[in-house]
Structure formats: C-alpha cells, structure tokens
Amino acid sequence: MIIFVRLKIKFNNLYVFMNIEMQLKDKVLEAVQHIYSQQVDESAIQIQKTRKDFEGDFTLVVFPLLRVSKKPPEQTAEEIGKYLCDNIHEISGYNVIKGFLNLTLNSSFWVLFLNNVAGKEHYGYITEKENPSTVLIEYSSPNTNKPLHLGHIRNNLLGYAVANIIASQGDKAIKVNLVNDRGIHICKSMLAWQKWGNGITPEKAGKKGDHLVGDFYVMFDKEYKIQIEELIEKGQTEEEAKKNAPLIIEAQDMLRKWEAKDSSTIALWKEMNHWVLRGFDVTYKNLGIDFDKVYFESDTYKLGKEIVQEGLKKGVFFKKDDGSVWVDLTDEGLDQKLLLRADGTSVYITQDIGTAHQRFDDFKANELIYVVGNEQNYHFQVLKLIMQKLGYSFSEYLFHLSYGMVELPEGKMKSREGTVVDADDLMEEMIRTAEEMSRELGKLDDYGENEKNQIIRTIGLGALKYFILKVDPKKNMTFDPKESIDFNGNTGPFIQYSYARIRSLIKKAQAKEIQIPAEIPSVIDINIKELQLIKLIHTYPEILYEASENLSPAIVANYIYEMAKEYNQFYHEYPILSEEKAGISVFRLFLSLQVGKIIQSGMSLLGIDVPERM
C-alpha cells in the first residue's frame, strides 16, 4: 500500500501569529528559572489557545514542567500563573484546572492588537519570506473532446483557491493546466464528426465549440454500443465485441495516423481542438479562474516516450513479446503497468512522465501538486514510483491532492452518455436562481439594471463556489443548487450579505459624518461578543497557515462563515450607529470595518467576490 504524504520539511512556514505567544513562552521560561532555579528546553513550553468551554485566552500545559517543579500540577500552575500575572501587564487573571493554566488577557491588549491589524494591508499574509518555495499547482486538465462539467468546476475551484492560499503564505504559487488534447478519446469525437458532422462548425451550429465537439463524443458512444450489441448477437463475447467493433478499430487507426503525423488527420485535430479551447476560455473567464502556464499532452507525450525508451535501455522497464513496454511494480505491492502499446502509441501515464520532467525543468520547482479526483489515486501512485525508479530526485515532491467526487441529489454523472451537468449551464442556472431568490426577497428592487445584474451574477457564482469549497476536498459531496443559494446558513450568499451589511453600516456612518479613526484608544472596555470577534480575527493568520499546509480551502471557507455568523449575532444584539455613547459607537464601527476586511480577504482567496451592497 503506497501512502501519499506531502513533504513539509522544505517549508519554513513556522509563522509567529502574535508576539504575545512568544512573550508568554519567554516569561514561562523565566518563571521556571526564577521559581525553581531550573532551566527547561523551549520545547517543553506548550501554549495553546484556551478551549471555548473554559475561561481564558491562552493555556499553558503544565505537565511537562513537573519534572523541574517537583510539585503537583495544580500547585505548579498556581505558582507560574502568579508570576506571569505579576510580570506581564497584559494578563488580567488566570485560573487553574488540573494541569492546565488558563491565562486571560486584558482589554487593552486586544484593542492594541486590533489597531495593529487595522494598519496592515494584507493581515494574515506572509509578504516577505526568506526562502520562498516554488509550488506548481496543476488543475483543470480537461480533455478536448467535451465541455467542462460539474466535476471540473470542483477541480478548478480547488486548484485556484489552493494556489491563492499557498501564495498568501509567502511561497510562489504557479498555476498550470495540462490540456489532454490527444489520445483515443479525442479520435472518437473526430471520427464521429467525419462520419456524421456534414461540415458543421460552432458558428453554423450556434454553439460553443466544446459543446459541439462533446455532442459528437456522445454520438460515437451511442453508435459504438449499437455495434457491440450486434457483435454479441453474432456470438462474440462482450470483451471481444468491444475490441472488434468497427468504430473502435477506426478510432485506433486514426490515433496511429495522428502519431504518424498524417496531414489530414492533424488538420482536423487542430481545427476541432481550436473550437474546444476557445470554448474552454469562455468557461474559465466566467468561472473567474486562470493559469500561469498551459501545457499540452500533444507536446509532452513525446518527451514521455523518450524517457520510457531510455528507461527501457537501462533495464528500468521491460518489453513483452508483442513489443509493448511495461514497468513491474509487483515488489511495491502493485502490478505491471503498460507504458507503450505494441503499436508504439503512448498511454495516459506516458505524457505525465514527460510533463513532470518538463515542469521541474521549466520552473526548478520545490513541489508539484496534482489536483485530480480520487478515482486517479492508483495512477499517481504509479507515476511517483516510476519517477523514483528512473532516478528523478523530484519524485518525492510529487503530491496528489486527491479530492472526492461531486454528485447531484439525483445521482452520478456519465459524460459518455451525455448525462453530465455542463459547467456553463450550471453557472447560468445559478445566476437565474439568484435572480429569482433576490426578486422574491425584494433585495434588489431599488437598483439600476446594470448594478442589479452584476450583483445577481456575483451572488449566483458566489453560491456555487462557496458551496463546493466549504467541503473538505477529501470528501465526496452532493451539490444542491437550491441549498447553495439560501441567504441563511453556511452559504456564500449569507456571507456576501454579511459583508454588504457592514459596508452599508460604514456608508451610513460616513453620511452622518462620523469619523472612523485609524486607531482606537486602548482604554476602552469590550464586551464578550466584541471579544469573540477580535479573537476570531486573531486566528486568521493561523487559519491561512493551516489551510496552506493541508491544501484545504474548506478551512478558510468555514472560518469566514463563523466570522460572518458571529458578526450578525453581534449586530443584532448591540446597537452600533444608535449607540448613545459616541466612543463605543465608533469602536463598534471600527471593529465592523476590520471584520469586513477579513471577510473580503478570505472570500478573495477562495475566488469569490463580495458586493458592496445587496
């Protein structure tokens, strides 16, 4: 069993989230020296955020210090707690629960922290890193025989968000796409167009090119199945019929002609690929994602074949009697894997071998992350092992971000049968649904047509993106369009509305000529709800770090929801503009402004826009 582990030793992201935590560590070391006349290693000082069900802000785990105190945990905690209270003016109190010392920080510390956040343009980001890593993130990887579908949407959104989050932590994230523009599946669409297309083009059909080509892919499969049934009726087994059906034989012949650079085959291939790629570009633009570099399998498979041939000469691979080339992975608990067919044509993994080599050569990358569904787990286990056997040092830095499948409430999708949920259609449906919901709620009645349409689009696409990204990538998920666009609950529209509410509040304050200062006096008292919001803001850098390390946009998404939920509770429980005490009103506006910045920042990393009003 091969276990894919992402190596982290090369990443120096040990981010200091707040100076107070380092200060606490230093003071605990000082306390141990002062009280017990002993020195301990810094690793023995374990400080963590206090759990929600206990009073306090930070907790010191006392148990590792008992070997120097020679006293019970409660007494040790009491002695250290008293010393810290006497020597750190930010600590207002402490309590002891068994071997845990819970420390409470005073209001002035949290207000000072909030002022510090307000002065940072990109709070939570690591903007200057001593040794940044170069990380390639491959996502999308479409086939040029059909349009993008719901599964591709999850792939693209994950890849784009992961790249943004990695970049937020000071590393260089390079977004790459590998277009699978060659192979038997491409020939199926080409052959079907030759047989039944009658010279149709996207312009004549009034269709996007990827949709038109996808129609012929479905057409091929239907005719192929008919031929299989006919051969079975004539006495062939299903396996024999699949191999002997005239259509598949013609498609295989077309692939051989393509690899032999037959001029007419190449001309048709270029034309149909051009149709599809133009269609993809429209979908990518509407989805709001992009790439820094696009590779094409039609280029990289050649290098892959060369590498396989070289591996064959070195004895890494072996050739069977029919001339096909294989790799033996039985010693690693897998099986034998085909690399080149008997007729010399390459298979899917051949181009991945070439592409991996090419990318590391192009970018001198520290890591290559493949964002690909979990049905390809075996494929990437094999790829990693092959690169290891070939002696490539970068093989240990190949990582498969394996994500779960997306289904609809009615079940799975099958592209060959034409039952997939088309990405373009889904985005249009989400925008229509957003319009219907907004009309029913009367939220956009007073808006001009252009602004209304832009907001509706932002809500619809935000609902789609957030609903997909809030789910842990490793999990399968069911996408429910109606649930995703609800203005209540853990949804994109709820978060967008929360942000718009904050912006509306700030604009009303400006209309009243209320000045929101750059800093707030540290002497102000804060209530429990305000403190909860400030603590949530305090954890934002930690959230981004965790999301980057785990390659999980869901961590950011659910944090932003928690922030929006807490803010709405605060908004309903405490007056802001109507607060009689001007100092408190201004503080709450100041806090609201910082919450809005965090919401906007987090949603932006997810590739989601937030409207100024809605």
Percent of the chain scored above 90 by pLDDT? 83
238 pLDDT exceeds 80? yes
* Identical topology for domains 139-407 and 458-605: no
Task: Note whether 297 and 178 are within 8 A (CB).
Answer: yes
- CATH class of this structure's domain 139-407: alpha beta
Of the candidate ranges 113-117, 446-450, 581-585, the one whose mean pLDDT is the lowest: 446-450
- CA torsion sign for 372, 378, 379, 381 is positive
pLDDT confidence bin for 6, thresholds 50/70/90: low
Q: What is the pLDDT of residues 22-47, one digit of tens each?
A: 888 999 999 999 999 999 999 999 99
Which pLDDT score, from 0 to 100, does residue 20 have? 74
Which pLDDT score, from 0 to 100, does residue 16 have? 35
- Cβ neighbours of residue 219 closer than 8 Å, sequence gap 6 or more: 192, 196
Which pLDDT score, from 0 to 100, does residue 345 have? 85
14 pLDDT exceeds 70? no
Tell me the range of 76-80, 298-302, 406-410, 446-450 where mean pLDDT is highest. Answer: 76-80
**Mean pLDDT for the stretch of residues 463-491:** 94
- Give the chain's mean pLDDT: 92
DSSP for 308-372, please give it: HHHHHHTTSSEE-TTS-EEEE-GGGTS-EEEEE-TTS-B-HHHHHHHHHHHHHHHH--SEEEEEE
Which pLDDT score, from 0 to 100, does residue 156 have? 98
Structure tokens at 108: 């002035």
Which of 2, 3, 78 is closest to 35 using CA atoms? 78
In angstroms, the CA 272 to CA 280 distance is 13
Query: Where on the phi/psi map is residue 607: left (φ > 0), alpha (ψ -120 to 50), or beta?
Result: left
Which pLDDT score, from 0 to 100, does residue 17 have? 42
Rg (CA), the chain: 29
- Cβ neighbours of residue 29 closer than 8 Å, sequence gap 6 or more: 39, 40, 42, 45
Which pLDDT score, from 0 to 100, does residue 411 have? 52
1 pLDDT exceeds 70? no
Which pLDDT score, from 0 to 100, does residue 419 have? 53
Q: What is the pLDDT of residues 493-503, one digit of tens each?
A: 999 999 999 99
Q: What is the pLDDT of residues 262-278, one digit of tens each?
A: 999 999 999 999 999 99
10 pLDDT exceeds 80? no
Which pLDDT score, from 0 to 100, does residue 446 have? 79
Of the candidate ranges 14-28, 108-122, 302-316, 550-564, the one whose mean pLDDT is the lowest: 14-28
- Cβ neighbours of residue 474 closer than 8 Å, sequence gap 6 or more: 374, 402, 403, 404
pLDDT confidence bin for 582, thresholds 50/70/90: very high
**Mean pLDDT for the stretch of residues 530-552:** 95
For the segment(s) 19-105, the CATH number from 3.90.1170.50, 1.20.1250.20, 3.30.1360.70, 3.40.50.300 is 3.30.1360.70
pLDDT confidence bin for 19, thresholds 50/70/90: low
pLDDT confidence bin for 385, thresholds 50/70/90: very high
- Cβ neighbours of residue 470 closer than 8 Å, sequence gap 6 or more: 490, 554, 557, 558, 561
**Mean pLDDT for the stretch of residues 578-595:** 96
418 pLDDT exceeds 60? no
The domain locations on the chain are 19-105, 139-407, 458-605
Which pLDDT score, from 0 to 100, does residue 560 have? 98
Task: Note whether 167 and 129 are within 8 A (CB).
Answer: no
140 pLDDT exceeds 50? yes
13 pLDDT exceeds 80? no
CATH entry 1.10.10.1100 includes domain 458-605? no
Structure pTM?
0.91
Q: What is the pLDDT of residues 336-371, one digit of tens each?
A: 999 999 988 888 899 999 999 999 999 999 999 999
pLDDT confidence bin for 261, thresholds 50/70/90: very high
Which pLDDT score, from 0 to 100, does residue 368 have? 97
